Amino acid sequence: MGTYAVTGSASGIGAAVVANLTVAGHTVIGVDLHDADVTADPGTSDGRANAVQDILANSGGTLDGVAAVAGVGPSVPDAAAVMSINYFGPVALLEALRPALERSGAGRAVVIGSNSATTVPLIDDRLVELALAGDEDAARKHARAAQNAMPREVLDMAPSISAYASSKFALARWVRRTAVIPEWARRGVLLNAIAPGAVLTPLMLGSTGNTTEPDADEFPTPMPLGVFGHPEDIAFWVHQFLRPEARYTTGAILYVDGGTDAAMRPDAQPTAMTL
């Protein structure tokens, strides 16, 4: 049995991941703002440092896996906070915990992205560049300025939609770039991402202004299966990526979105490499 850390463990997808790992007999270190083994704020550098310190203390310095699930949605009023929580939080945590994953001999890390990275036409290229450059202060400043320039109808619907989609786009690109460098790949630490679609979590319902399950056929993006996802649908795949048997998969972005991305961009993948 192994030892795993899960951020965002108090609700939604994170709680479902914790349940799966616990049923499988593993030791789970939950991380969240409240109701967790480790309470920490992923939106601040001090919060991230405290989370890493407490995770290492609880694990004895060795981890078999980390599921970076914590995040916020496009309904959050402050675009800067969205960037800090959704991008800089998981990146800092995973970079700091990589040595603990390496010590296990078969470390696995999974990040929760979003299909919004490829289905929302509001990606801010400059914001993505600043995130990937690791400049959190500049990214936060740019996110707020870009948010202030958004049309009022967009702000009324989802005030931080551009920052949200851009943070998830940058996170997916970070996973692809990082998973294959020697410090991760050649040391046996595998890194993958899952891109959920519309999943019935408190975050998703809060973002859409619903208190009950909305009609899938009236959702803004296509829903080919005609149903919404549930946290367990995402947790299942997180568990698969964390298993020791998943030894030949790294740098993958798995869409678990009921076919939304495929419906909107049927020819985007596979895309042939051009010379």
Give per-residue pLDDT as tens, 133-182: 999 999 999 999 999 999 999 999 999 999 999 999 999 999 999 999 99
Q: What is the mean pLDDT of residues 107-131?
A: 97
Torsion of CA 164, 169, 170, 172, to 10 degrees: 130
The arithmetic mean of pLDDT across residues 226-248, rounded, is: 97
Chain Cα centroid distance, residue 89: 10
248 is catalytic: no
CA distances from 128 to 53, 117, 143, 251, 271 (A): 28, 11, 10, 18, 22
Residue 202: pLDDT band by 50, 70, 90 thresholds? Answer: confident
> What pLDDT is recorded for position 275?
87
Residue 264 Cα distances to 136, 254, 260, 275, angstroms = 32, 16, 6, 27
Is 0.85 topped by the overall pTM? yes
Query: Is 208 a residue whose pLDDT tops 70?
Result: no
Please name the residues in contact with 246: beta carbons below 8 A apart, sequence gap of 6 or more: 108, 190, 240
pLDDT band at 207 (very low <50, low <70, confident <90, very high): low
Q: Give me the mean pLDDT over the 86-94 stretch.
A: 98
In whole angstroms, how far apart are CA 274 and each of 99, 172, 206, 252, 271?
37, 22, 42, 21, 9
Residue of 4, 87, 164, 255 marked active site: 164
Backbone phi and psi for residue 206, each to the nearest 5 degrees, phi listed first: -65, -35
Q: CA-to-CA distance for 124 and 129, rounded, in angstroms?
A: 9
Residue of higher predicted confidence among 92 and 209: 92
* pLDDT in the model for residue 206: 61
Cis peptide before 244 (omega within 30 of 0): no
Q: Look at residue 213 and tell me whether its pLDDT is greater than 60.
A: yes
pLDDT at 211: 63
Cα 241 from Cα 226, distance rounded (Å): 26
